[in-house]
Amino acid sequence: MKNLLTTCVLCILFSSLGSGQTLVDKSVKLFNEGNYREATGLLQEALRQNPKNDSAYYYLGMINMNDSYDKAIEYLKKAVELQYGNAKYHLMLGNAYGVKAQKAGIFSKFGAAKDCLSEFETAARVDPKYIDARRSLVEYYLQAPGIMGGSVDKAVTQSDTILMLDRYAGYLTKARISEYQKRQKDTEGDYLQAIAVDPRKTPAYRGLWWFYVSNKDEVKADAVLARAVKAVDDKSEIYYWAGLYYVQVNNLEKAKDMFHHALKEDSTDAPVYYQLGKVACLSGTDLQGGLASLRKYISMPLAKNSPTYDYAHWRMGMIYEKLGNKEAAKSEYRKSLQINPDLDIAKKSLANMK
């Protein structure tokens, strides 16, 4: 009887733990879709079922990263306490402290920067092969002033370690440092070394292309773009990041051209449709085409690291405003806020229409 009772208790316990993890899995899907409110609700329910669910604390931290860094830090610290030595958790906690160091007042800035560096160092220490942690250290050492631990020499040391772990990633990091130090020949050479290591990967082509374009060397930029299109499997991605650059520098016609090239290579590349809608919104041209692109975007599964659907509905509202259809614009702004009630740009757009 005692053994039976123990078995029943264990079954209930593990059933509860499994249910909590299922809620976390569902919340991650909602998080990736930009539905932060529902994701938060599921994660909080997961914690009610199992207060030691480190994954739930981790994702709550990610959700709050940009809007409330103090909340993010609180959640991520809890995740780290529950699973100390998880390099991913330490890295994300370091990122949260990094956001605080950028946004907080002068008296909090130094402490947050120190904590940021400490968490990055811990992530690299507990998992010495964790390249993302070492890349974050490189960025910290390059961007932070000396009084906060910044040091080009330390960045170089981390870059050398990355090079031993992964030659491709190592040369990319060396290019980042060379560019920071304005050593143009070395920057070009480091990117070319990375391409030589693996000609089928896109990041080195992207970095080298941006380097040429930012230095107004259009001939070399066109040459490396053509080389990339021939070499890599995902040709759509090549045109996509070229389009992103042209959006950034407000060359919207060139951006539109690049995005159309991307769709010729892969008509299922969802983020391209969002960018075409954004270009229409920014330029005020081909507004109907922009609406069609955004409708297509929200009908497709959300790709990783893509703009969330709340932003797509907000962009559609902006286009409807330009078309003079105020009711349709309000409807899209409301849809955006249904997905993410904290999206300030949608709140302001809707308020401005009253």
Number of other CB atoms surrounding residue 192 within 10 Å: 15
- The pLDDT tens digits of the residues spanning 211-240 come to 999 999 999 999 999 999 999 988 899 999
Tell me the pLDDT band of 242, cut-offs 50, 70 and 90: very high
Q: Return the higher-pLDDT residue of 304 and 157.
A: 157
- The pLDDT tens digits of the residues spanning 121-149 come to 999 999 999 999 999 999 999 999 998 89
The overall average pLDDT reported for the chain is 90
Handedness of CA 9, 12, 81, 88 (dihedral sign): positive
Say if CB 287 and CB 272 are below 8 A apart: no
Taking the C-alpha atoms of residue 167 and residue 169, their distance in angstroms, rounded to an integer, is 6
* pLDDT computed for residue 155 by the predictor: 97
Question: What percent of the chain has pLDDT above 70?
Answer: 94
Note every long-range contact of 264-267, with CB atoms under 8 Å and residues 24 or more positions apart, other chains counting: 265/235, 265/236, 265/239, 266/234, 266/235, 266/236
Tell me the pLDDT band of 12, cut-offs 50, 70 and 90: very low
Taking the C-alpha atoms of residue 123 and residue 131, their distance in angstroms, rounded to an integer, is 10
SS (H, E, C) 165-228: HCHHHHHHHHHHHHHHCCCHHHHHHHHHHHHHHCCCCCHHHHHHHHHHHHCCCHHHHHHHHHHH
| Whether pLDDT at 10 is above 80 | no
